[in-house]
Amino acid sequence: MNIAIAHPYFISRGGAERKVLLIANHLKKIGYSVKIFTHVYFPKKSFPEYTKNIDFLVVPYSRSIFGRFFSVIKLARQLKSYDVVHSNNIPSYFEAGIAKLLYKNKTIWFCNDYPMHYTKQKKTVGLVVKRLLEKIILKRIDVIVTNSKFTQKAVKKHLGRDSQIIYSGVDTELFKQSKKKKSDSVIELFTSGRLEEYKNFSYLIKLVSELSKDYNVRLRVAGDGPLKSKLKRQAGKLLNKKIFFLGNTSQQQIIKLYQQSDIFLFSSINEPLGVTLLEAMATQLPVVAFNCGGPKETIKHGVTGYLAKNEIEYENYVRKLLDSSSLRKKMGLAGRKRVIEFFSVEQMISKTQQLYEKVVRKA
Q: What's the CATH number where 153 sits?
A: 3.40.50.2000
Kindly state whether residue 181 falls inside one of the protein's structural domains. no
Task: Tell me: pLDDT of 182 over 70.
Answer: no
Kindly state whether residue 307 falls inside one of the protein's structural domains. yes
> Average pLDDT over the chain, rounded to whole?
91
SS3 37: strand
89 with 163, same domain? yes
Task: Tell me: pLDDT of 1 over 70.
Answer: yes
- pLDDT value for 138: 84
Kindly state whether residue 175 falls inside one of the protein's structural domains. no
99 with 242, same domain? no
Query: Is the Cβ–Cβ distance between 314 and 298 less than 8 Å?
Result: no
**What domain range is 247 assigned to?**
187-342
Query: Is the Cβ–Cβ distance between 261 and 285 less than 8 Å?
Result: yes
Query: Is the Cβ–Cβ distance between 344 and 352 less than 8 Å?
Result: no
CA distance 298 to 289: 10
118 with 198, same domain? no
Domain count, the chain: 2
221 with 234, same domain? yes
pLDDT (tens digit per residue) in 11-64: 887 788 889 999 999 999 989 999 999 999 998 888 888 888 899 999 999 878
84 with 211, same domain? no
Q: Measuring CA to CA, which residue among 58, 73, 56, 149 is closest to residue 111? A: 149
- pLDDT value for 75: 96
Kindly state whether residue 182 falls inside one of the protein's structural domains. no
Work out the angle between the directed axes of helices 275-282 and 325-342 (0-180°, nearest 10): 110
Task: Tell me: pLDDT of 119 over 90.
Answer: no
Query: Is the Cβ–Cβ distance between 275 and 291 less than 8 Å?
Result: no
CA–CA–CA angle 53, 59, 60 (5° rounding): 115
323 with 351, same domain? no
DSSP string, 209-253: HHHTTTS-EEEEEEB--TTHHHHHHHHGGGBTTTEEEEES--HHH
Query: Is the Cβ–Cβ distance between 41 and 48 less than 8 Å?
Result: no
Kindly state whether residue 176 falls inside one of the protein's structural domains. no
Q: What is the DSSP letter of 44?
A: G
Task: Tell me: pLDDT of 198 over 90.
Answer: no
List 190's β-bridge partners, or say none: 220, 264
List 33's β-bridge partners, or say none: 2
CA distance 316 to 309: 11
156 with 205, same domain? no
CA–centroid distance for 234 within its chain? 25
206 with 354, same domain? no
- pLDDT value for 269: 87
Kindly state whether residue 301 falls inside one of the protein's structural domains. yes
329 with 222, same domain? yes
337 with 348, same domain? no
Half-sphere exposure of residue 125: CA atoms within 13 angstroms, side-chain side = 0
333 with 348, same domain? no
Kindly state whether residue 210 falls inside one of the protein's structural domains. yes
200 with 296, same domain? yes
Query: Is the Cβ–Cβ distance between 42 and 10 less than 8 Å?
Result: yes
Q: Structure pTM?
A: 0.88
Kindly state whether residue 174 falls inside one of the protein's structural domains. no
Tell me the backbone φ, ψ of residue 355, rounded to 5 degrees.
Answer: -65, -45
Average pLDDT, integer, range 278-288: 97
Task: Tell me: pLDDT of 363 over 80.
Answer: no
Tell me the backbone φ, ψ of residue 35, rounded to 5 degrees.
Answer: -140, 140
Task: Tell me: pLDDT of 130 over 80.
Answer: no
